[in-house]
Each structure stands twice: as structure tokens, then as C-alpha cells.
Amino acid sequence: MGVPQFKNIRRTYGFDEVAIAPGLLTINPDQTSINFTLGDLEFAIPILASAMDAAVSPKLAAIIGKLGGLGVLNLEGLWGRYDDPEAVLWEIGEAPKEEATTVLQKIYSAPIQERLLGQRVQQIKESNVTCAIALTPQNTKRLAPIAVEAGADVLVVQSTVTTAKHISKSYRGLIFSELVEQIKIPVVVGNCVSYEASLELMETGIQGILVGIGPGAACTSREVVGIGVPQVTATMDCAAAREEYYRRTGRYVSIITDGGIRTGGEMCKAIVSGADAVMLGTPIAQATEAPGHGYNWGMASPHPALPRGIRIHVGTRAPLEQILCGPSTVTDGTMNLVGALQASMGMVGAFTIKEFQQAELVLAPDIKAEGKSFQIAQVN
Amino acid sequence: MGVPQFKNIRRTYGFDEVAIAPGLLTINPDQTSINFTLGDLEFAIPILASAMDAAVSPKLAAIIGKLGGLGVLNLEGLWGRYDDPEAVLWEIGEAPKEEATTVLQKIYSAPIQERLLGQRVQQIKESNVTCAIALTPQNTKRLAPIAVEAGADVLVVQSTVTTAKHISKSYRGLIFSELVEQIKIPVVVGNCVSYEASLELMETGIQGILVGIGPGAACTSREVVGIGVPQVTATMDCAAAREEYYRRTGRYVSIITDGGIRTGGEMCKAIVSGADAVMLGTPIAQATEAPGHGYNWGMASPHPALPRGIRIHVGTRAPLEQILCGPSTVTDGTMNLVGALQASMGMVGAFTIKEFQQAELVLAPDIKAEGKSFQIAQVN
Amino acid sequence: MGVPQFKNIRRTYGFDEVAIAPGLLTINPDQTSINFTLGDLEFAIPILASAMDAAVSPKLAAIIGKLGGLGVLNLEGLWGRYDDPEAVLWEIGEAPKEEATTVLQKIYSAPIQERLLGQRVQQIKESNVTCAIALTPQNTKRLAPIAVEAGADVLVVQSTVTTAKHISKSYRGLIFSELVEQIKIPVVVGNCVSYEASLELMETGIQGILVGIGPGAACTSREVVGIGVPQVTATMDCAAAREEYYRRTGRYVSIITDGGIRTGGEMCKAIVSGADAVMLGTPIAQATEAPGHGYNWGMASPHPALPRGIRIHVGTRAPLEQILCGPSTVTDGTMNLVGALQASMGMVGAFTIKEFQQAELVLAPDIKAEGKSFQIAQVN
Amino acid sequence: MGVPQFKNIRRTYGFDEVAIAPGLLTINPDQTSINFTLGDLEFAIPILASAMDAAVSPKLAAIIGKLGGLGVLNLEGLWGRYDDPEAVLWEIGEAPKEEATTVLQKIYSAPIQERLLGQRVQQIKESNVTCAIALTPQNTKRLAPIAVEAGADVLVVQSTVTTAKHISKSYRGLIFSELVEQIKIPVVVGNCVSYEASLELMETGIQGILVGIGPGAACTSREVVGIGVPQVTATMDCAAAREEYYRRTGRYVSIITDGGIRTGGEMCKAIVSGADAVMLGTPIAQATEAPGHGYNWGMASPHPALPRGIRIHVGTRAPLEQILCGPSTVTDGTMNLVGALQASMGMVGAFTIKEFQQAELVLAPDIKAEGKSFQIAQVN
């Protein structure tokens, strides 16, 4: 049209728009290997449980650890604020729908109690599993040493958007290179969605990056602040940074897609988009053993002035082992995620996660999903 | 295909299709500054209240003025036609749904009373806030001097589509360059959606442009007359004209996105699309103090022969201060719009509105949004 | 990807995806002229009523003729088969929903009675309006002379897809160049959707082309036989053929968009896509005077073996004059279509239909419309 | 943007997004010929019935064979596991909705009984129709000889994804070139969706390829394992391979689109995408004579650990002859599929399936389909 453009708008992709295309080879699912490495730590399955209070308690961290994955406990959540989080969790679950946000705001206004942090780490360690804990950038310098001293194995530094450079009036921004040098356990940072930002984070020496801003079921960042990048593009961009950083340095930083994954299909698409592992919220919160009693809410939900995310009813479906490793009794992809991953790898002939990352993705708007809901409506 | 094309169709973008992508820096929200300038006038927050009778009364103009924004009173609306608009507003709110359009048509057939215009300006000025009033192009030459004499500080000349050139049988088209010279207060003109049309308007000497044709919740221009350009593209094109005009002349004309903004996310996207400020209708009409008592309707709704826009029930949510400045008790982005703007700027590392205009936009079809509306519908 | 392509798939556009963009000039609606020419005939408004039995009776043809448009009576429909179509129309309207198709199949199995054809033409002529009648290609050679002799002014030859070349075992294909020479009244042919096919039809000497395959509300060609081209692209392609044919020959063949138009906005978009006039079905069937008593069905609906199209309930809204010329009491664009056309032309500064055809179209997915329709469905 | 891309994402197309565009010629439907060839076998209509237990019993295979098509019996389904499948079919149909998957898992855990396989083949052969049976790749080497010896005419080797190369720990992968040489009846293999994979399969000597992964109404592969390619693109790619293979070798391998086809329109689009024939599931399961008694489920639905696909209620509509060959009493395209195919071929002027494959496809998002549901909601 000859009209000057104020800016370009780049097309990005989400899970619902893409599908995996098979290739020239198929293999039996039992020939696939799906282990995941974070720094020196190795995990049998490439699944982390989100640092959400409705998903990970010390007990749930023990269960997922024994299944081969990694649960991340939010030390700034209820377990870092209350001696008896169980009572508080029931209070949240029992709040009427219209008061849920106000109840969350009130409950999370209780202060973090430093004396609880070490206790929580020890609770997890007593189960003989890897202990991962999460902190926000603001509190990391102050609280991380406590957790490390108590025996934490992995530190996750997480906020809605985390970059290598942060400017604040009230505190000196966290310097990740200093942190990595100081605490000596693997550091995972997030969330992040871009090539350049993840490259800058990798250069600080961290071991993993959480990918995903705005996509989770319990997150409304896109509505509230307009920010968000769909997970397929976000994962592809951060994976491209991982490849470039590895090419330059020989050091491999893990990419973990976090948010928006509820089904085996979505987990598979995340890995084909370049992820080394995924972080799950809703599927974990649906486990019989989950602390949320059938509810889930995000870490930004209780913000005192600008809550982002609602308490959603996710239901209780099955023991965590069955959700993750099957057998499945449902056909919508929400159970036996590990089995689904291995079946999918078999169908595209991938022996390893690295090979699966090379599978083909196609853009295929999910019209059937719409049709299906129509069909169901017809039938009932 | 080798077939001659009758015309090109250009792809345009709306709020629901795009999202803001974070960058390499994050800052604390309290470090952002969000002031807005219109000619010589400066405002603490970049928010105008729409010249809709359900949104702005003299009283509401006072409230938003004290919060740092600017309310625009429609002098050709109920306040310019009735001595006691309050009674008429109740009549509109109480009309049964199926009769609402007919009732609006009847009520707005009452004549404009010139003697009321100055009174309304004075009512606003008594509150010691900036007074902005709106007129249509047809009546501007006749009525603007009355408002200016009474002390109006800003003149908004507004109709569905306004261009620098208008041809009419019944009156000589308004010449904006003459108007600007004559009335000596800042003139804002709209609505407009294109690069060329806004460039021509800027050349007449006006201080601001309202961007948006067809996008508002209470507007059905697209259904009735087929006309409309989505707000992201419209704002980007008018912002490109502003940059070009500034490059040529050194004079900065403000771009104000008007219509279709209900959430913090949409306000943020408007600014990242290039807006200097936004004009809000529905969020203002939802304030406890709004004259519409929970309803809203557009300025074209009462047209006697071709009404465009319906009376919609928007509900009453909270005092205006809470809607604009928080704290929010909801998580859908409809409260604490100023807080959302500052949070969003923090996440992309923008200290000022001008820096925020430089953030990245991605095309990311809002699949989740559809799901959400479904969920809400299910629940009610 | 380097994979050979079996065929290209061309992107096409429908009404819901596009919108009209304003330009640099606006004019008052009362300055527009909207007349339409077909051969030597001139009409005050560019609107034809569809040759559907639920839309056009001899009486309705008289009413629309007096309003300045043109009604087309289907001589192979009920008026060509029954002495008393009124009784049959009530029977159709009163059939239970699930039996409607079967009832239509039975009713339309009655034979065409040649003696009725001339009577119907005379009924229309008695009202002193232009008389247009429709026939299918199979029956045109046999029945057209009867209608012409009785005084018909316009012959419409119409089937789902009509081309200049048709091959049949049972009858020699209709040769349009022979027909045009023989009957001496303007011939309109359709339906057609492509540049080449309409160019070939123009070369036979016809005066108008009906554009549209698959888009009407009462048509299910796309579901049943997979065939259909959205109206914006179809109209643009046929309009490009009209321009090319005019450039070559100096003869102007009118393009009439037929199907899928229910609102003023859609009528405006059809013209901006290049149409000289539009043919309406549903809006006409909604008139108080329409023969369908609030129902509508397509010409292919009663096919004995492969019915395409359902009897849909369109309701009765207002007298035809009000639907076409206003005033409107609704805001969804379904009333005062002429007023909407003139308002739209005013907003883009077009004095004539030819100038309006030059307006800009943008691709702007109608996200708002979807949300709204969903809401309505839930509420009822 | 200058950012390195992790991988490309190719745009693919499904039935709902495309439509067939007419050309320059029309012919009468009775002049079309629609026969289909598989190796040396010829069929009057290009329709196969899916190897699903709810669709094909020996009795149904006889009926479709007499209509000119080909039914495929799944020898690893109920007819290969139970002496009296009828009783089991009723048990499935009567299971409450929420237990359907569990019931299927239990029923299909019964072992395959080799003694039944020959009996089933003979049951079909007694009706003097072509007998086609389906096996999975794992069991083909063991069970195919039994079926061939009993007189099977066509062998279908089918699993979700089948390639020329398969690697397994527990059994040596099936070598198709050996199989083809050994059994001497036409072999059809599937499912497959890509150019390269189908080319490799053709090179093994097989006679037909089933195209389609993830699209069927009773399939949830896309949700569970993320895999799927929409049918228009999948068919086009495999058809391109067929053309290339034919160009190289002079041997013609048939492409059969399998899955996602419920209407005449979809069948027509499959053929215009390049298919020689289609395989139907839901439309067959809706026949009065179908074994599923109004229900349908996929072959992967009873998987013990990872079921993919649900038991859906498809209803019972009409005798198979009426569903396939009409007359139709409905207008949604689900009856008289053969009539629809011939009508569609007539509208684009195609005398044969090969000519129909050359028709034009356009990308035309099916907005009307959404509109239709709106209409229905209004009416009820």
C-alpha cells in the first residue's frame, strides 16, 4: 500500500494450531528413552511439577521424585508462610467462587517466615528425592542461602517475566552470574520467551530456562497486562538460543516449557518445538495427592493490587502415578502422559528426546476440536 | 493464478489477535512514568472518558479529572438537550430490552438547547478540572464558540468518520484550519483510522486525533454500514502519520485510541500499537458514579433512521478510582487499568509511554479467550 | 519443503472477514446516487429480490418494483405449478420441522403448467412495474418464449452453476448467444463465481451475471457437494471480468451479487467488492408481504434425490418498504438497507456506485461478531 | 526479525477450510463415471467401509459389496475374538457413557482366535462379493496367510502410522516387499500422510495407500499424542507421490482418503485433493444394517494403557443403500453420497474421477457453518 509501517507484527504459534507429522520410520514405544538432564542431575522422565501451591507440597514432591520427575516447591507460597498450610488450603477450596480472589489476596498477605524454609527443604529431602525450590528474584539473594544450607538441590528463580537485567528503586537487581557462582547448585530461571533474553540468561551460567509467559490455564497475564507469547513459538525461540549457545560454548542449558500443557499431545508438541522437558501445573493439581483438593491458582493470583489468574476448579482425577504413567481410562489425552510421549516418539521414529525435537511440525488449525464439542452437545 | 485482481485486500489486526512480547530488560512498575500531553495541557494518566451520555456527566468529568485523566462531555447529548438529564437516564435504563432502541430514538429527538451548553461547561469548571466537550462537525461552527466562551479547555469534534474534507448540500463543510485559528483551545478530531486521513487532519493544526471506527462494544457500524478497521492496525497507521508529521514539522500531535478497550491488556496493546493515550467507554460506564446506571450506548444508537449500536448492560462494578487505579478484586483485566499499564511497562522494561510504544507485538490468535467466554457463559 | 505440490490452493474471502476502510473525503448521504442499470433498463435502487418462492410472488414483485428495485419470479416454482400457490405456501409453513424437506420434495414434484406462466407475467405487468422471471437452463428454450410473449421484461436463467458450455445426454445444451439473439429482452445468467466463466458468459451477449455459489443462508451446496466460493472473492473476480470485457468491447455487463446478504454491511461490502447490484433472499422473505409467511427455502431444497438447503425460519419483521428504505428500529443492520448504503457511501466519500466500488477493503476477522452470536445462543 | 528459526512450520489444510470452485464447463451428473480400480479389481463406486467393528460385519461387507463398494473387516476386532460378536456389540452399546472406554478395554482384552479368521472370510465370500480384511503390522506375518488361504481378495495392513521401515525389539519389522511377493493378493497399507513415506511404501509393491492420521470423528490421536495432518494436505501429498511414482514406473497405486469424511461435500473434497477413493467410518456406522447399533469407536479406542478415541453416538439414519446412493431426505450432505459426487462432478464438468482430481480448490474458511448453528439456536 506504500503506507509506512509503524512496526512489524510477527506471527507466532500455540499448541492448538500445530500438530506433529510422522516421518519415514516407526519404532516400538518401548525402544524410546525419555530421560532429562539438568546440570549434573538426571531424571527418568522429562516432567517437572510447577511451583504452585495447589500442585506441589513436600509430599507431592516426594511422589513425583520417586516417579522419576522433579517437583518444585514454592518457598514464598503457603509452605513458607504458614505452619499448617493444610488448613489454609481447605479454606481456599471452600471459599465461594465470587470471593476466591479476595480470599487468596488475604491469605497470601501473611508474611514469609524464614524459619519454615529450611524445614520444608528437609521434609522433601527426607524422602530421598531431589529437592527443588522456587523463589522470586526480589527475595532470592536473601532466602536462597537458607534453602541451600538446608540441602536444596535445585534453585528455581521465577517471576512472570525474568531477564538478565532488572532495574529497581527499592533493591539492587539480582545478578545471576553472582548467584550461580555463590550457591553452587543448578539454577533454573524463568519465565522467558525470546531468543535474545534466553541467550543473555544462559550467559550468566544458569542450567535451565523456564519458557512461557501468559499461556497457563490459571494465568490471565494476557488479559490483564496484554503480555504473552504462544508456547510453540516461545519454545522454538528459546531452543534456538540453546543451540546457538551450545555451538559457541559447548555447554548445554535445558529448556523447560512451562504453562499451557494439559494433555499428552501438548507435552509432545512442546518437545517437538525444542523443549528438553516440560513443567506441568493443571495435570499435577488434578492428582489425588495434590494439595489443592481439586482447585488450582497461579502465583500471580493473590497479587494485592493486580491479581492475574483465577482459582479454577480442575477436579481430582486419579493418583499422580496414573496421570503421569497410566494406564489411562480416558481418551482426551489427560492421562498417561509418559505413555503418550513414548507412543508419539514411536510414531515418528524418535529413539530419544533429542531426536524427537527434530520431528516435523505442521500448522493445522484444530477444527476438529470445535466440531467435537458440537457433536457432544448433539448427543447429550 | 494469472487472474487479474479487482483490488487488493490488506490484512489488518485487532486487539484479540496480538500480544506484547517482553524484551531484554525488566523494571519495577513504580519506576514508570505514564503522563500524557495534549497541546500545552498535561495529564497524569493517559486516559480519556468517552463523550457518551452513559459514561460522562459533569460530575464524572470532575472525578476523572481529579484522578489525572480527562472526561469529555457530549454537548449534543442529554446534557445539551434536557434540564434534568437524570430523569431521562433512568427512563433509558428502565426501558425493556426490546424497546430500548425506540426509546433512545424518541429521547434524542428533543432539540439541543443552546442555553444549557454554557451551564454544563461551568458545572465542570467549578470542580477545578480541565473541561473537554464534544460536538459533531455539523454543529461545531455554531456551538463551539458558546462552549469556549463558557471556559471549555479542550474541544473534541467527533463523528463516526471525520476527514479534513467534507462535502454537504445543506451546510458548508467545517474547515478545521479556520476552527483551530479561531477558537484557540486544543482541538481533538475523530474518528479516523488511516495514515493519509490523519496526516491531512494534522496539517490543519489540530492537537489530537481519536482513532477507531467500528470497534466499540456499543457500536455496530460494521454490521450496519460495513465500515471498520481493527484497532491495532488503525492505531499503528495513525501513529505512523504522527511520526512522519513530527519529522516534517517538529510538532507532536497526540494519537488517542478510542473504542474497543475494556481491559488493561487492551489498553497496553493500544499504546504498544502507537497510541499516546486511550479513550474508554465501557470501563467508565461501569463505574458506580457513571450516569448510565449500568447501561451504555453509543452516540449513533439513537439515529432516527439508521441506529447503529445497542443499549448494552455493562453492569456497575466499582468506584471509578478503583476501576482506573485499583486495587483490583477481579482477574479479567477490567480493574486497575493504571496498575496494569505500569506492570506491563515494567515487564518490557519501558520507563515512559514513548518507550512502551517501541515494544514488540506478536500475532497470537487468542485461543484461550474463546475458551474463557465459553466458561463464563457456562457458569452464569 | 521441496515436496512437489499436487495443486495450489488459492485464498478466498467472505463477507465476515472483510470490512470497508474510509478514505480522505466524507460526503452527506443525501448527495449519493445509487441507481442501477441493466441493459437499457434503469432502477432507482440496486436491489433485486431472489427468484425464491418464499421471497417473490407477483404481489411482492409489484411492491419492490414500485420501491425502485426488481423482483424476479421463479416460473418453475409454485406459481408455475399450482393455480393456488397460497394454499401450498401455508402447507409448507405448517409442516413440522423434521418433515419440511420431505414436504418440499412432494410439493415440488407437481408438474410445471405452461398455461400458468403467461398469467403470472401478466399479473406482474398489471402493476406497471418491470417484470423479471427466472427459468433453469434445461427449460429455457421451451418456456422462455411463453414468458416473453406474455410481456416479460427481463429473463433470468439460473441454476446452481451455469456456464457458457453445458453437456447433456438428454437435451442439447442451451446456447446463450442464440437465446440472446432470439428473445431480445435483457438476459441475466447465473450463478457464476469465476473470472473466466463470467468472461465467457459475457461474450454470449447477456446483460447481467448473478454471482454466488454456496453462500446463501438457505443453501447447503458446500456441505452436500463441496462446492462454493466466498462472495467477496467471487464478486471481485467477476467484476474484474466485467472491467476487462468493457475494456475490450465498450459494453458494460452488470454484476449482481446473489446470496449471503442479510445486512446493510454485507450489501455495502458486495458493492465495494465490485458488484453493481445485489440480489436478496432472506431480507425479502422477512417482509410482511413475503409469500413465505416467515419461512425461506432455496431452489435446490426440493430436489427429489439430493436436496440442498433447508426450510429455515426467518421470521416476519416489517413491511418491505421499511426493510429496504427504513426507518430502522433495530441496530443489527437488517433494516433500512438503502439508508445504510447511502450512509456508508457518505463515510467513504463515494457519490456513485462506481465510486463506491473503488473504496478500500481490509481483511479484518470479525471477532466481535462471533462472541456476540455465542452469547445470544446461550441466552435463548 | 533476524532471529534464527528452530524449525519451519508448514501450513496444512483440512476439509472445513477448503471448497471446490467450478470451472468453464458443466455436464449432466448422469454422464459421469465414478468407478475405482485397486490392482486388477474394479469397483463401481469409490467407497470403502472402514475396518471398524461398529461399521463392518460380514453382513455389512456383503451389502456394500453389492452396492459396488468394498467393506473391510477387521480380523483383529470382535469378529476375530468372539464366536458371538453380536452379544458383545450390544454390551458396548448399552454401557453407560462414562464407562464406555473401560468396557471397550475389557472386551478387547479377549485373545484373537485364529480358528475364527478363516470362518469370517468365508462368511463374506458366500455373498459373492470381494472380501477385504484388515490386520495390524505386528500380526500380519502370522495371520495374513490364514486369511488368504480362506479366500480373502484384499489385505489391508493398518495401524495409526505405518511406514516402510519399522523397528521393534519384540518382533522383526514387517517387510512389505516380502509380504507382497508372498501373498499375491492386492495389499493396501496405512495410515500414511506424507509424500516421502507413501513413495517408500509404493516402492514395496503394494497396490493402495490409506491416507489419514488423526482426522476421524472417533479418533483422538491429536489430543493424546499430538500427531495428525489435516486430510486435504495429507491427500494432496500422497497423491503427488502417486503421480511421481507413476511417472517413474508406469504403475498406478491407489490413494484412499480414510477418516474425517461424513458428508458428500467432504468426499468430493477428498477426491479433488487427489484421492482415487474414500474410506468411510461414521456414515457406514449410521446405516440401519451397521453392527454398532448407532455407536462408533476407533481401532485405538480399546488400547489397554493409552486409549485414543471415544465411543460416540452416531445414530441410525437409513439403510446403507440410501445413505450411499439416495434418495436423500436430509440437506446436510450426509445422505446420497454417490449422488452428491456425481452432482459435484457435473458442476465442475468432470467426466471421470481423474478429471475431478484436477478441479480447483480454494481456501475458504467455513464461516457459514458457524452461522448455521447460530440460526438453529435462533429458531428453536
Confidence of residue A365 (pLDDT cuts 50, 70, 90): confident
Helix axes D114-125, D58-66, angle to 10 degrees: 30
Q: Would you state the pLDDT for residue B2?
A: 67
Residue type, D179: L
Distance from CA of C168 to the nearest CA of D (A): 5
- Positive or negative CA dihedral for A281, A287, A290, A295? positive
Instruction: Give per-residue pLDDT as tens, A319-340.
Output: 999 999 999 988 889 999 999 9
Domain containing B61 equals 15-367
D window 176-205, beta carbon within 8 A of C: 194-196
A window 37-96, beta carbon within 8 A of B: none
In a domain, C11, yes or no: no
**Pairing verdict, β A25-27 and B9-11:** unpaired
Integer CA distances (angstroms), A87 to A54, A118, A265, C281, D90, in order: 13, 21, 36, 65, 49
Q: Would you state the pLDDT for residue C371?
A: 35
Backbone angles phi, psi at A138, to 5 degrees: -60, -40
The reply to whether residue A362 touches residue D306, judged by beta carbons under 8 angstroms, is no
Nearest CA in chain A to B361: A9
In a domain, D348, yes or no: yes
Q: With CA atoms as reference, report the closest residue to C272 among C344, C215, C323.
A: C344
Q: In a mutagenesis test of the D interface, which of A11, A194, A331 is the best target, namely the one with the most D β-carbons within 10 Å?
A: A331
Q: Would you state the pLDDT for residue A214?
A: 80
Given a contact cutoff of 8 angstroms between Cβ atoms, the answer to whether A162 and A137 are in contact is yes
Share of chain A above pLDDT 70, in %: 94
Active site residue B325: no
- Can you tell me which residue has the cell 452432482? D343
Distance from CA of A37 to the nearest CA of D (A): 21
Lowest mean pLDDT among A353-367, C39-53, C260-274: A353-367
Distance from CA of B118 to the nearest CA of A (A): 40
The reply to whether residue A196 touches residue D167, judged by beta carbons under 8 angstroms, is no
**Pairing verdict, β D187-192 and D154-158:** parallel
List the CATH number of the domain containing C175. 3.20.20.70
**Three-state secondary structure call for residue B274:** coil
Residue type, D294: G
List the subunits that have 3+ CB pairs under 8 angstroms with B. A, C
List the subunits that have 3+ CB pairs under 8 angstroms with D. A, C
Q: Would you state the pLDDT for residue C372?
A: 36
In a domain, B9, yes or no: no
Confidence of residue A116 (pLDDT cuts 50, 70, 90): very high
Q: With CA atoms as reference, report the closest residue to D51 among D147, D153, D129, D157.
A: D157
Residue of B17, B168, B310 with shortest CB distance to C28: B168
End-to-end CA distance of chain B: 50
In a domain, D10, yes or no: no
In a domain, C323, yes or no: yes
The reply to whether residue C376 touches residue D379, judged by beta carbons under 8 angstroms, is no
Instruction: Give per-residue pLDDT as tens, B158-203.
Output: 999 999 988 887 767 789 999 999 999 999 999 999 999 999 999 9
Average pLDDT (B7-30) is 94
Average pLDDT (C92-106) is 92
Give D302's strand partners.
none
In a domain, C12, yes or no: no
Residues in chain D with pLDDT values less than 70: 1-2, 171, 216-219, 366-380
- The number of distinct structural domains making up chain A is 1
- Can you tell me which residue has the cell 462537525? B137
Q: Would you state the pLDDT for residue D217?
A: 60
Residue of C28, C327, C364 with shortest CB distance to B304: C327
- Confidence check: pLDDT of B369 > 50: no
The residue from D242, D311, D317, D325 that is catalytic is: D311
**Pairing verdict, β C70-74 and C360-363:** unpaired
Instruction: Give per-residue pLDDT as tens, B316-353.
Output: 999 999 999 999 988 889 999 999 999 999 999 999 99
Computed over every residue of chain C, the mean pLDDT equals 92
| Whole-angstrom Cα Rg for chain D | 20
Instruction: Encode burial over A258-284: b for 16+ CB neighbours within 10 A, e otherwise.
Output: bbbbbbbbbbbbbbbbbbbbbbbbbbb
Residue of C4, C194, C304 with shortest CB distance to D244: C4
Instruction: Give per-residue pLDDT as tens, D179-217.
Output: 999 999 999 999 999 999 999 999 999 999 999 998 766
Average pLDDT (C266-287) is 97
Most confident of A221-235, A298-312, B35-49: B35-49
For the purposes of burial, counting CB atoms within 10 Å of the CB of D117, is it exposed (0-12), middle (13-18) or buried (19 or more)? buried
The reply to whether residue A344 touches residue D226, judged by beta carbons under 8 angstroms, is yes
The reply to whether residue A11 touches residue B362, judged by beta carbons under 8 angstroms, is yes
Distance CA D227, CA B155 (A): 59
The reply to whether residue A347 touches residue D170, judged by beta carbons under 8 angstroms, is no
In a domain, D9, yes or no: no
Instruction: Give per-residue pLDDT as tens, A35-90.
Output: 999 999 999 999 999 999 999 999 999 999 999 999 999 999 999 999 999 999 99
Confidence of residue A271 (pLDDT cuts 50, 70, 90): very high
- Confidence check: pLDDT of A1 > 60: no
Q: Would you state the pLDDT for residue D74?
A: 97
- Can you tell me which residue has the cell 446463450? C176
Taken as a whole, chain D contains a residue count of 380
Q: In a mutagenesis test of the B interface, which of A1, A3, A9, A163 is the best target, namely the one with the most B β-carbons within 10 Å?
A: A9
What residues of D are in contact with residue C228 (Cβ under 8 Å)?
Answer: 19-20, 364
Distance from CA of D217 to the nearest CA of A (A): 8
Q: Would you state the pLDDT for residue D218?
A: 58
Nearest CA in chain B to A301: B331
Q: Would you state the pLDDT for residue C377?
A: 25
Distance from CA of D168 to the nearest CA of A (A): 5
The reply to whether residue A347 touches residue D160, judged by beta carbons under 8 angstroms, is yes
Confidence of residue B218 (pLDDT cuts 50, 70, 90): low
Instruction: Give per-residue pLDDT as tens, C108-155.
Output: 999 999 999 999 999 999 999 999 999 999 999 999 999 999 999 999
Q: In a mutagenesis test of the C interface, which of B6, B103, B193 is the best target, namely the one with the most C β-carbons within 10 Å?
A: B6
Confidence of residue C331 (pLDDT cuts 50, 70, 90): confident
Residue of A97, A102, A213 with shortest CB distance to B22: A213
Distance from CA of B282 to the nearest CA of C (A): 15
The reply to whether residue B272 touches residue A224, judged by beta carbons under 8 angstroms, is no
Confidence of residue A140 (pLDDT cuts 50, 70, 90): very high
Distance CA A69, CA A129 (A): 9
Instruction: Give per-residue pLDDT as tens, B65-94.
Output: 999 999 999 999 999 999 999 999 999 999
In a domain, B121, yes or no: yes
Distance from CA of D326 to the nearest CA of C (A): 6
- Nearest 10 degrees: Cα torsion B51, B53, B56, B59: 140
Distance from CA of C108 to the nearest CA of B (A): 36
- Confidence check: pLDDT of C170 > 80: no
Q: Would you state the pLDDT for residue A303?
A: 87
Q: DSSP character for D62?
A: H
Instruction: Give per-residue pLDDT as tens, A238-248.
Output: 999 999 999 99
Nearest CA in chain B to A105: B329
How many other C-beta atoms can be found within 10 angstroms of the C-beta atom of residue A32?
20
Average pLDDT (B248-252) is 98
Confidence of residue A373 (pLDDT cuts 50, 70, 90): very low
- Confidence check: pLDDT of A379 > 70: no
Q: Would you state the pLDDT for residue A378?
A: 27
More confident residue, A215 or D157: D157
Say if D246 is an interface residue toward chain C (CB within 8 Å): no
Q: Would you state the pLDDT for residue D2?
A: 67
Backbone angles phi, psi at D305, to 5 degrees: -110, -25
The reply to whether residue A3 touches residue B240, judged by beta carbons under 8 angstroms, is yes
A window 256-295, beta carbon within 8 A of B: none
Say if D217 is an interface residue toward chain A (CB within 8 Å): yes
Q: Say yes or no: ipTM exceeds 0.90.
A: yes
Given a contact cutoff of 8 angstroms between Cβ atoms, the answer to whether A280 and A49 are in contact is yes
The reply to whether residue B162 touches residue C360, judged by beta carbons under 8 angstroms, is no
Instruction: Give per-residue pLDDT as tens, A2-36.
Output: 678 999 999 999 999 999 999 899 999 999 999 99
Q: Would you state the pLDDT for residue B131?
A: 98
What residues of D are in contact with residue A272 (Cβ under 8 Å)?
Answer: 226
Cβ-based contacts under 8 A for chains A and B: 190
Say if D222 is an interface residue toward chain A (CB within 8 Å): yes
Distance from CA of B11 to the nearest CA of C (A): 5
- Confidence check: pLDDT of A377 > 80: no
The residue from B131, B192, B219, B268 that is catalytic is: B219
Q: What is the 3-state secondary structure (H, E, C) of chain C?
A: CCCCCCCCEEECCCHHHEEEECCCEEECHHHCECCEEECCEEECCCEEECCCCCCCCHHHHHHHHHCCCEEEEECCCHHHHCCCHHHHHHHHHHCCHHHHHHHHHHHCCCCCCHHHHHHHHHHHHCCCCCCEEEECHHHHHHHHHHHHHCCCCEEEEECCCCCCEEECCCCCCCCHHHHHHHHCCCEEEEEECCHHHHHHHHCCCCCEEEECECCCCCCCHHHHHCECECHHHHHHHHHHHHHHHHHHHCCCCEEEEECCCCCHHHHHHHHHCCCCEEEECHHHHCECCCCCCCEECCCCCCCCCCCCCCCEECCCCECHHHHHHCCCCCCCCCCCHHHHHHHHHHHHCCCEHHHHCCCEEEECCCHHHHHHHHHHHHHC
Share of chain C above pLDDT 70, in %: 94
- Confidence check: pLDDT of A173 > 90: no
For the purposes of burial, counting CB atoms within 10 Å of the CB of A375, is it exposed (0-12), middle (13-18) or buried (19 or more)? middle
Residue type, A335: M
B window 304-323, beta carbon within 8 A of C: 304-310
Residue of B18, B28, B329 with shortest CB distance to A9: B18
Q: With CA atoms as reference, report the closest residue to C92 among C106, C79, C82.
A: C106
Q: Would you state the pLDDT for residue A308?
A: 83
Helix and strand tally (H, E) in chain D?
16, 17
Q: Would you state the pLDDT for residue A376?
A: 27
Q: Would you state the pLDDT for residue C3?
A: 76
Confidence of residue B149 (pLDDT cuts 50, 70, 90): very high
Q: What is the 3-state secondary structure (H, E, C) of chain A?
A: CCCCCCCCEEECCCHHHEEEECCCEEECHHHCECCEEECCEEECCCEEECCCCCCCCHHHHHHHHHCCCEEEEECCCHHHHCCCHHHHHHHHHHCCHHHHHHHHHHHCCCCCCHHHHHHHHHHHHCCCCCCEEEECHHHHHHHHHHHHHCCCCEEEEECCCCCCEEECCCCCCCCHHHHHHHHCCCEEEEEECCHHHHHHHHCCCCCEEEECECCCCCCCHHHHHCECECHHHHHHHHHHHHHHHHHHHCCCCEEEEECCCCCHHHHHHHHHCCCCEEEECHHHHCECCCCCCCEECCCCCCCCCCCCCCCEECCCCECHHHHHHCCCCCCCCCCCHHHHHHHHHHHHCCCEHHHHCCCEEEECCCHHHHHHHHHHHHHC
Share of chain A above pLDDT 90, in %: 83
DSSP H or E segment with residue D74:
strand D70-74
How many other C-beta atoms can be found within 10 angstroms of the C-beta atom of residue B339?
21
What residues of D are in contact with residue A21 (Cβ under 8 Å)?
Answer: 193-194, 227, 229
What residues of B are in contact with residue A310 (Cβ under 8 Å)?
Answer: 331
The residues of A assigned a catalytic role are 219, 311
Distance CA C196, CA C176 (A): 16
Residue of C5, C214, C376 with shortest CB distance to D19: C214
Q: Would you state the pLDDT for residue B303?
A: 87
Q: In a mutagenesis test of the B interface, which of A169, A232, A306, A367 is the best target, namely the one with the most B β-carbons within 10 Å?
A: A306
Say if A369 is an interface residue toward chain B (CB within 8 Å): no
Say if A110 is an interface residue toward chain D (CB within 8 Å): no
The reply to whether residue A165 touches residue B362, judged by beta carbons under 8 angstroms, is no
Taken as a whole, chain B contains a residue count of 380
